[in-house]
Amino acid sequence: MTERTGGWRAPILQHFSAASAAAGRLTIVSDPDALLTEPGVVERLGESGFELIGFGDPVAFRYAYETRFRQHWDRGEATHLVVVIRTSHSDLRQVPHDLLQDARENGRVLSFSLVHLFPMLAPNIVAELDPQHFDALAKALAKVAPGSLGTNATRDFILRHVFEIAPELIKQPADLLRVLLRRHYRSRIIPPSLDERFVELLRQDPVWQSWPLDRIVPDRDAFLAFLSERWPHFLIAKGLDVVPGREPAAPSILGPGVLPFDHDDVRVYMDNLFADGILEPTPAVRPIADDRWFGVGIADSPASSLESRFRHLLEELGTTIPKADEATHEQWQEFSLRWGTWVRLRWQTEPNRDATSEAEAEALALAVQAAFSTWLLRRFAPMSSLPYLPRPVLGHHVPHYLAHHLGQPGTERIALLVIDGMAIDQWHILRDSLDGLRVEEHAIFSWIPTLTQIGRQAIFSGRIPLEFAASIDGTHREQKHWSSFWQDRGLGERVVRYLKPQGHKESFQSLADGILGAADDNMVRVIGAVIGMIDQSMHQVGLGTPGLHGLVEVWSRTKQLAGLVDALLQRGFAVFVTADHGNVFGRGFGKPDVGLTAEQRGERAHIFRNQDFRSNTMPHFPSAIAWPQIGLPQDYFPLIAPYGACFMPVGTESVSHGGIALEEVMVPFVRVAEKR
């Protein structure tokens, strides 16, 4: 029995055999803890012939039900639908009566909850966990069998067996640094109540009384600042010379002045923090030319050069590519942020790179793209049912996430800036212009195919592409989508604004003025805006990705984006930045002669409205990918160019989008705030 069919999933999956799928066409499930939307469960249900649909918006549900299922049933086709309602069993009356009656007649009204799956643990604490941790939790329970645990005992059990944190074993500064580095380097989310319990247990040992645990345990930015402030003092303590006039200030975050950065368990993380650009090398001490490890953290030392960082990440990333057959979406989200750093370094250092080094870089890129595309084809469908908390995963999750936080302290007003076409490597360029601000960055998946009209409408509507099928060919409905989303959540039209991207001949300043004009209206609580600088440049620039990077570098140096963000913060807005899709370089491998048979003829993707038309084209492009209709309308058939290629005449080159390369699919989702 595999992990995905056994463990905590087994009590759920036993109700969804292939025989059950054949016996009835409809199951309705009360799932208040979102257990059925966990990717492993979704994948296993799909293999057994079940398809999930969430019951939320009644209009959207009825449309999906009629177009995706009712028509199949009327034609006598075997399709088994699982309607998931994320409330208690008593609220099933919200489901349309005809469906509920059908399911009841066949004994297919079910209910699942964490209380039944993990009866030995306090359910309110287990509910705080992301489902990705349930496998580790189930394994630990099977191995340890702790008996019935109360609230604090449950927290202690989860800290130890899920997050591998044993407070009683943390005796020395290096022990604590190792735990916090492992957690914050990966931006790992730990529920607040577990952080509080961890700090409470540490405080019982006098050695930690002077440490700012309340700040550096839960807050990644505070922890990184804590390290950064102490790094030059560590170097000076090792005897390195201070650069006159650049003496480091005393740390602003209280705690020990010098940390054991050279401890083996700490040093390995410090290497990566500097190589990844998460920490900046200090200019406070004189550069060193030798190979001592801490040179990576000293400005102008050979070890901290762009080329050295490029080589370090080349080796590091090559050994950490998520496995195509078993990786989680969280692993790809984490990997993509490091990938963006490396891609930027790759093109920054390209002019000085020899043929051997460039061949190594290309080999790594091919290996990553092969693993990612294989993984996407298998795992993208289950992701469409994931919840939007604790963080968005797909583009359509973004407004739901914002709506969840609107009105909470610090998010009384929200501004969403969608930078059209911004790849995650280009975000790393723009991030440099936001110095002095607090940046909390994550990565999300764009909808596939990665076309503007799909990605942007998903973000502004909060819906999957199938649900905006009537406008899927353009972006003209974005303002209506955005307004409708917020009106459905009780916000009047007067308090919501949408600003379309500037025209090709308009300056960025004209768009910024429009955004700030909306922000100056005290009635406005939510702003959504599209910034077109990168996408407009992408389709005009020459010299491939380096040329586009050059234009983004120029824009970054103007500080225009930073100025807009800062102005919004001063007006009381919580500012979020994301993109509808990224972009990638490709060379033409032929242009299909499809005439009127293709609805859209892009450089990285062709869209057909008839499956036969796509099938007739595919033999001419055997390496192209027939992307499945995941979340797409019934008459929407994408044909996607492979990595490194585009549907253009042989010999031509382009930076474009529409495909499934990592740089096209993974985009940043960022909150920018003032420093604490």
SS3 letters across 406-424? CCCCCCCEEEEEEECCCCH
Using a 10 angstrom Cβ sphere, with 0-12 exposed, 13-18 middle and 19 or more buried, the burial of residue 39 is: buried
**pLDDT for 373 beyond 60:** yes
Q: Tell me, what's the pLDDT at 73?
A: 66
Give the pLDDT confidence score for residue 239 in this predicted structure.
95
5 pLDDT more than 60:
no
Q: Which three-class secondary structure state does DSSP give residue 531? A: strand
Confidence of residue 92 (pLDDT cuts 50, 70, 90): confident
Which pair of tokens denotes residue 206?
Answer: 């006098």
The arithmetic mean of pLDDT across residues 508-515, rounded, is 95
CA–CA gap between residue 278 and residue 334 (Å, rounded): 13
* 322: DSSP letter: P
Q: Check whether 335 has a pLDDT greater than 90.
A: yes
Amino acid code (one letter) for 96: P
The percentage of residues in the chain with a pLDDT greater than 70, rounded to a whole number, is 95
**What's the CA angle centered on 272, arms 270 and 277, to 5 degrees?**
100
Sheet of strand 598-601: strand arrangement: 598-601, 605-608, 637-640, 625-626
pLDDT score, position 412? 96
**pLDDT tens-digit series, residues 38-61:** 888 888 888 888 888 877 767 777
Is 479 a residue whose pLDDT tops 70? yes
Using the predicted structure, report yes or no on whether residue 176 has a pLDDT greater than 70: yes
Residue 235: the pLDDT is 97
Choose the most confident range, by mean pLDDT, from 83-92, 280-289, 374-383: 280-289
Please write the tens of the pLDDT for every residue from 111-120.
999 999 999 9
pLDDT-derived band at 88 (thresholds 50, 70, 90) equals low
pLDDT of 1: 40
CB of 391 closer than 8 Å to CB of 457 = no
| CATH dotted code for 7-117 | 3.40.50
Does the model's pTM come out above 0.85?
A: yes
Residue 530's H or E segment, with its range, is strand 526-531
The pLDDT value given to residue 656: 93
Sheet order of strands, 645-646 included: 645-646, 584-588, 653-656
573-578 sheet: strands from edge to edge? 437-445, 666-674, 573-578, 413-419, 526-531, 496-499
Contact 557, 433 (CB under 8 A): yes
Residue-wise pLDDT for 642-662, tens only, equals: 999 999 999 899 999 999 999
CA terminus-to-terminus distance, the chain: 49
- Determine the pLDDT at residue 89: 55
The DSSP-derived string for 148-191 is S--HHHHHHHHHHHTS---GGG--SHHHHHHHHHHHHHTT----
Residue 86 has pLDDT above 80, yes or no: no
Phi first, then psi: what are they for 81, rounded to 5°? -100, 135
pLDDT greater at residue 555 or residue 1: 555
Tell me the pLDDT tens digit for each residue of 517-532.
Answer: 999 999 999 999 999 9
- Token pair listed for 534: 């990168």
Q: Model confidence over 583-595: pLDDT tens digits? A: 999 999 998 877 6
Question: Residue 273 above 70 pLDDT?
Answer: yes
Q: Which residue has the tokens 């007649």?
A: 105
pLDDT band at 552; cut points 50, 70, 90: very high
Domains of the chain, by residue range, sit at 7-117, 316-382, 384-583+663-674, 585-656
Confidence band of 84 (pLDDT split at 50, 70, 90): confident
| pLDDT range class, residue 91, cuts 50, 70, 90 | low
Is a pLDDT exceeding 80 seen at residue 125?
A: yes
Average pLDDT value over all residues in the chain: 91
| SS3 of 457-517 | HHHHHCCCHHHHHHHCCCCCCHHHHHHHHHHCCCCCHHHEEEECCCCCCCCHHHHHHHHHH
Concatenated DSSP letters for 597-649?
Answer: GEEEE-SSEEEESSHHHHHHHGGG-TTSEE---SSS-TT-EEEEPPTTEESS-
Percent of the chain with pLDDT over 90: 74
Query: Thinking of the domain 384-583+663-674, which architecture would CATH place it in?
Result: 3-Layer(aba) Sandwich (3.40)
Query: 153, exposed or middle or buried, with CB in 10 Å at 0-12, 13-18, 19+?
Result: middle
How far is Cα 195 from Cα 231, in angstroms, rounded to an integer? 25
Give the whole-angstrom CA distance, residue 107 versus residue 103: 6
Instruction: Of 625, 641, 501, 631, give the one whose Cα is nearest residue 584.
Output: 641
pLDDT of residue 326: 82
